[in-house]
């Protein structure tokens, strides 16, 4: 029983981090119908920005609340800027091209980021993995027998829930959200109606990238290590999570991600780690077989 | 699919890099390698394979997950060749080494070996550290009948590739047996759990020997878990191991994973010591593992506090050159290069067959990491040491003989 509970906690902790990354995928897809494969790598860059910021601080500052907030703030702002740049120079020129062109560009950006970060020139960190400083000191908030819940696991879960609610509010209750939904519906017509399409899309990218940076730092704190290829893998898993939940749907992304985190944890815990990816992707296939639009997605008729 | 496209991209990038390098150095008449260029290689004359220079080849992980392995090995080799050159080289010729980076990937190691053989026409190939990479290299070297010495690949299959493949370190069965013997006899462990990297030939090799040996000595393996190199979350496996309540956990992985595993094991409240192999040996282990790595044990090729003359000479020369204490991989790189030089000195000419025969006859060679005598299977028999990590340093615990 204790073992089961511990697996449950581990799985939830992994799932909430997938969720934060999946939210970025789902938002960009919702607005642009673009699968932004570079999203995972933006997360990686965010983790490195957090790492660089934490190293600039003294040891005491680093483990203080203020220090931790500063690490998040710098990385999130930096990544928002990176998201804006990627959108402006890679995706915007292709907006009226076939969707496949933008998709391939996204894969290109993803590789450009993850492989250039393996160089050891200038500010680029090089390929060896780096230990991430403990900006959130591990503290057991709950201990019962063999089961431990750590402060950062609770924080991650809390952050994911709060952000989901906030995004839900943003999309359905604010002017910006209404503009987002209009652009998502048809960006040409939305433009004709006086909605500033470019800035809405740029805003979506900035927001998604900031979320990715936050997720990147939480991920780095959880596993204590960062390396340039971390984004490829986590990005892929978060994408799967977003598809399971119904891509374009905010609560769906979170539920999909947590389900995926739990499935992976239990598979590894009770069978063997070799099964993890097979089961994760098999789970995706089964969900898509029965609900091609994902768990929470809406069926939409596509004109061909 | 994604992996394939990654590999393809890497291949294209490599081709581009080579192309650019060629352009840059056409004036010198010789393409420089894409990887790190050692000072020795920079002294390379335009036609290195002939004339007054003997060219050796090296493939190493200079970047990628096991970068510190490659860098240490390369420094050891460089030091040995500099010493040999200072003493007049071999048969009146200077020695130089051409180094290619394989980014810690077997595919790249294989490609680099082909380049060393067909393009650079090297006399002897040195490398790699990771057994998976050495296996890819040995395939190519054996097919072309170019002698290859791996400094530190411990998987038995490497030298089984053929009669041109040698090594200067002990093999996995021995290392796994050392860990089993040490756990059972020194730590008095009754129950052991295994956590293996199932993507690495090295890790699987050690675990496969540990289990029967530990059982034979009266212990019991209570749980077996696995992970894939590059994973960063090991909590599910560790949670399962914790339930089995082992006295020791055998983790024959590489430092890049072990540091994180140690951290997460302590976080989950596992108090049993972790035991590992020479793959732990890297300064990075401390950075990744922090205080969690303290108190754990691993088997290794040499200890810096070994009083043997060869070891101490090597350590002081290495410190002079690179301003840091050499790890075992540096010592083995140094030994591999010196065995190569010694063989070339003894061989009647520099044909691959003659060099191969000379290496095979290596006997009682005083290496920095123990005396080397190669057996009929081209493996040396030498003792292993067990080290404990204490106060951010390695502490010598005991020596286990074959």
Host H or E run for residue A284: helix A276-290
In a domain, A299, yes or no: no
Residues in chain A within 8 Å Cβ distance of B6 = 111
pLDDT at B85: 94
Low pLDDT (below 50) residues in chain A: none
In a domain, A180, yes or no: yes
Residue of A102, A104, A238, A148 lying closest to B268 (CA atoms):
A148
Q: Inform me whether the pLDDT recorded for B44 exceeds 60.
A: no
Provide the 8-state DSSP code for B152: S
Cα A304 from chain centre: 31
Is A297 a member of any domain? no
Q: Are A71 and A217 in contact (CB under 8 A)?
A: yes
Select from B2, B225, B268 the Cβ nearest to the Cβ of A148.
Answer: B268
Whether A127 sits inside 8 A of B242 (CB atoms) is no
Please say if the pLDDT value at position B14 is more than 70.
Answer: no
Compute the distance between CA of residue B125 and CA of residue B245 in angstroms, rounded to an integer: 46
Contact with chain A for residue B291, Cβ under 8 A:
no
Residues of chain B found within 8 Å of residue A233, distances taken between Cβ atoms? 230
How many other β-carbons are positioned within 10 Å of the β-carbon of residue B367?
Answer: 25
Query: Taking 80 as the threshold, does the pLDDT of residue B7 lie above it?
Result: no
In 3D, which of A105, A81, A114 has the Cα closest to residue A32? A105
Q: Does B304 touch chain A if contact means CB atoms closer than 8 Å? A: no
β B384-390/B297-300 pair status: antiparallel
How far is the CA of A56 from the CAs of A67, A78, A103, A212, B354, in angstroms?
A: 10, 16, 37, 22, 57
* Residue B59, H or E segment: strand B53-60
pLDDT in tens, A70-91: 999 999 999 999 999 999 999 9
Residue A292, judged by CB atoms within 10 A of its CB (0-12, 13-18, 19+), counts as exposed
Here the ipTM equals 0.77
In a domain, A198, yes or no: yes
Using one digit for the tens of pLDDT, what is the confidence trace for A201-260? 999 999 999 999 999 998 998 888 898 989 988 999 999 999 999 888 888 999 999 999
Q: Given a cut of 50, is residue B290 above it in pLDDT?
A: yes
User: Whole domain around residue A182: which residue ranges?
Assistant: 2-290
The reported pLDDT for the residue numbered A13 is 87
Give the helix/strand (H/E) hosting B71.
helix B67-86
The strand pair at B191-197 and B248-250 is best described as parallel
- How far apart (Å, rounded) are the C-alpha atoms in residues A209 and A189? 26
Instruction: Return the residue of A nearest to B68 by Cα.
Output: A128
pLDDT band, very low/low/confident/very high, at B143 (cuts 50, 70, 90): very high
Burial class (CB in 10 A: 0-12, 13-18, 19+), A262: middle
pLDDT of residue A303: 56
User: How do residues B228-243 score in pLDDT, each as one tens digit?
Assistant: 887 888 998 999 999 8
Q: How many domains does chain A have?
A: 1
Distance CA B10, CA B17 (A): 10
CB B79 within 8 A of CB B318: yes
CB crowding B83-114: b at 16 or more within 10 Å, else e: bbbeeebbeebbbbbbbbbbbbbbebbbbbbe
Say what percent of chain B tops pLDDT 70.
Answer: 87
Identify the CATH homologous superfamily for domain B37-170+311-379: Response regulator (3.40.50.2300)
Residue A226: enclosing H or E segment and its boundaries?
strand A225-226
Q: For testing the chain A interface, which of B10, B235, B286 should be mutated: the one with the most A CBs within 10 Å?
A: B235
CA distance B285 to B333: 20
Record the tokens describing residue B367, joined without a space.
């290496």
Query: Which CATH architecture does the domain made up of B173-300 adopt?
Result: 3-Layer(aba) Sandwich (3.40)
Q: Are B260 and B288 in contact (CB under 8 A)?
A: yes
Q: Give Cβ neighbours of residue B146 (< 8 Å, ≥ 6 apart).
A: B116, B117, B122, B123, B124, B125, B164, B352
pLDDT exceeds cutoff 70 at B19:
no
- At residue A140's C-alpha, the angle toward residues A15 and A57, to 5°, is 85
User: With contacts defined as CB-CB under 8 Å, which chain B residues touch A227?
Assistant: 65
Structure tokens of B249? Answer: 């956990």
A272-280: which pairs have CB atoms within 8 A and are 24 or more residues apart?
Answer: A272/B225, A272/B226, A273/B198, A273/B225, A273/B226, A273/B227, A273/B228, A273/B231, A273/B236, A273/B237, A274/B198, A274/B226, A274/B228, A280/A237, A280/A240
Q: Please give the pLDDT value at position B33.
A: 43
Gyration radius (Cα) of chain B, Å: 21
Is the model's pLDDT at B350 over the cut of 80?
Answer: yes
Q: How confident is the model at residue B21 (pLDDT cuts 50, 70, 90)?
A: very low
Q: Which of residues 144-163 of A touch B (CB under 8 A)?
A: 146, 148, 150
Give the pLDDT confidence of B298-339 residue by residue, as tens digits: 998 888 887 788 889 999 999 999 998 898 899 999 999 999
SS3 B129: coil
Distances (CA, A) of B329 to B75, B310, B325, B340: 9, 15, 11, 16
Domain ranges of chain B: 37-170+311-379, 173-300
Mean pLDDT, range B30-59, rounded to an integer: 56
For residue A225, which of A133, A115, A147, A300 has the smallest C-alpha distance? A133
Instruction: Say yes or no: B131 contacts chain A, CB-CB below 8 A.
Output: no
Burial letters A156-189, b for 16+ CB under 10 A, else e: bbebbeebbeebeebbeeeeebebbebbbeebee
Contact at CB, B269 and A146, closer than 8 angstroms: yes
List of chain A residues whose C-beta atoms are within 8 Å of the C-beta of residue B241: none
All residues at 6 or more sequence positions from B35 whose CB lies less than 8 Å from its CB, including other chains: B60, B62, B99, B100, B101
Phi/psi of residue B249, nearest 5 degrees: -120, 120
CA angle B194/B402/B146 to nearest 5° reads 90
Q: Whole-angstrom Cα distance, residue B137 to residue B150? A: 10
> Residue holding tokens 């061909």?
A304
Residues from chain B that touch A3, judged by Cβ atoms under 8 A, are: 239-240, 242-243
Confidence at residue B111, expressed as pLDDT on a 0 to 100 scale: 94
Structure confidence at residue B36 (pLDDT): 42
Contact assignment for A14 to B233 by CB distance below 8 Å: yes
Does B284 contact A265 at a Cβ distance shorter than 8 Å?
no
Q: What is the pLDDT of residue A46?
A: 95
- Phi/psi for B189 (5° steps) reads -80, 135
How big, in percent rounded to 5, are the helix, strand and coil portions of chain A? 75, 5, 20
């Amino acid at each position: 029983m204790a073992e089961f509970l511990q697996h449950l906690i581990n799985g939830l902790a992994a799932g909430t981090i997938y969720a934060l990354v999946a939210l970025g995928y789902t938002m960009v897809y919702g607005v642009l119908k673009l699968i932004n494969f570079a999203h995972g790598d933006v997360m990686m860059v965010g983790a490195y920005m957090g790492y660089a910021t934490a190293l600039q601080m003294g040891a005491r500052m680093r483990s203080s609340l203020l220090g931790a907030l500063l690490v998040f703030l710098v990385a999130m702002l930096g990544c928002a800027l990176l998201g804006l740049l990627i959108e402006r120079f890679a995706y915007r020129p292709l907006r009226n091209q076939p969707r496949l062109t933008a998709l391939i560009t996204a894969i290109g950006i993803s590789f450009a980021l993850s492989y250039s970060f393996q160089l050891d020139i200038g500010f680029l960190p090089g390929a060896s993995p780096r230990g991430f400083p403990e900006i959130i000191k591990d503290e057991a908030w709950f201990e019962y027998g063999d089961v431990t819940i750590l402060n950062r696991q609770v924080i991650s879960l809390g952050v994911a829930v709060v952000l989901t609610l906030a995004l839900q509010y943003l999309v359905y209750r604010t002017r910006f959200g209404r503009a987002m939904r209009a652009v998502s519906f048809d960006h040409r017509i939305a433009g004709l109606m006086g909605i500033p399409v470019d800035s809405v899309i740029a805003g979506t990218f900035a927001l998604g990238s900031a979320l990715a940076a936050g997720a990147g730092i939480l991920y780095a704190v959880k596993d204590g290590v960062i390396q340039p290829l971390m984004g490829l893998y986590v990005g892929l898993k978060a994408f799967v999570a977003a598809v399971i939940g119904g891509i374009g749907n905010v609560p769906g992304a979170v539920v999909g991600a947590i389900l995926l985190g739990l499935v992976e944890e239990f598979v590894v815990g009770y069978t063997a780690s070799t099964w993890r990816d097979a089961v994760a992707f098999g789970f995706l296939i089964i969900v898509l077989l029965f609900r091609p639009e994902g768990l929470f997605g809406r069926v939409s008729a596509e004109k061909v | 699919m994604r992996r394939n496209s990654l590999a393809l991209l890497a291949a294209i990038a490599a081709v581009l890099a080579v192309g650019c390098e060629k352009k840059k150095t056409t004036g010198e008449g010789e393409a420089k390698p894409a990887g790190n260029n050692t000072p020795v290689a920079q002294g390379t004359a335009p036609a290195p394979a002939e004339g007054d220079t003997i060219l050796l080849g090296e493939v190493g992980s200079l970047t990628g997950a096991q970068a510190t392995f490659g860098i240490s090995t390369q420094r050891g080799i460089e030091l040995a060749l500099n010493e040999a050159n200072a003493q007049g080289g071999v048969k009146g010729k200077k020695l130089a080494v051409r180094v290619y980076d394989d980014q810690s990937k077997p595919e790249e190691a294989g490609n680099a070996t082909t380049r060393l053989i067909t393009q650079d026409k090297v006399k002897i190939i040195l490398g790699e550290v990771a057994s998976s990479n050495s296996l890819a290299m040995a395939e190519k070297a054996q097919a072309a009948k170019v002698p290859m010495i791996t400094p530190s690949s411990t998987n038995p299959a490497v030298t089984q590739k053929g009669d041109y493949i040698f090594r200067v370190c002990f093999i996995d069965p021995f290392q796994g047996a050392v860990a089993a013997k040490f756990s059972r006899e020194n730590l008095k462990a009754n129950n052991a759990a295994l956590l293996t990297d199932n993507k690495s030939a090295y890790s699987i090799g050690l675990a496969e020997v540990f289990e029967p040996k530990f059982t034979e000595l009266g212990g019991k393996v209570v749980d077996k878990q696995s992970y894939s190199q590059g994973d960063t979350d090991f909590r599910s496996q560790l949670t399962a191991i914790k339930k089995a309540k082992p006295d020791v956990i055998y983790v024959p992985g590489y430092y890049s994973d072990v540091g994180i595993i140690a951290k997460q094991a302590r976080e989950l409240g596992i108090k049993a010591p972790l035991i590992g192999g020479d793959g732990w040996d890297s300064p990075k282990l401390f950075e990744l593992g922090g205080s969690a790595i303290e108190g754990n044990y691993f088997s290794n090729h040499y200890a810096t506090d070994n009083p043997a003359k060869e070891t101490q000479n090597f350590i002081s020369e290495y410190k002079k050159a690179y301003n840091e204490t050499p790890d075992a991989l540096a010592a083995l790189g140094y030994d591999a290069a010196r065995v190569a030089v010694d063989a070339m000195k003894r061989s009647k000419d520099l044909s691959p067959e003659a060099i191969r025969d000379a290496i095979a006859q290596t006997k009682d060679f005083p290496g920095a990491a123990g005396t080397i005598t190669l057996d009929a299977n081209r493996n040396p028999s030498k003792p292993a040491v067990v080290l404990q990590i204490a106060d951010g340093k390695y502490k010598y615990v005991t020596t286990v003989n074959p």
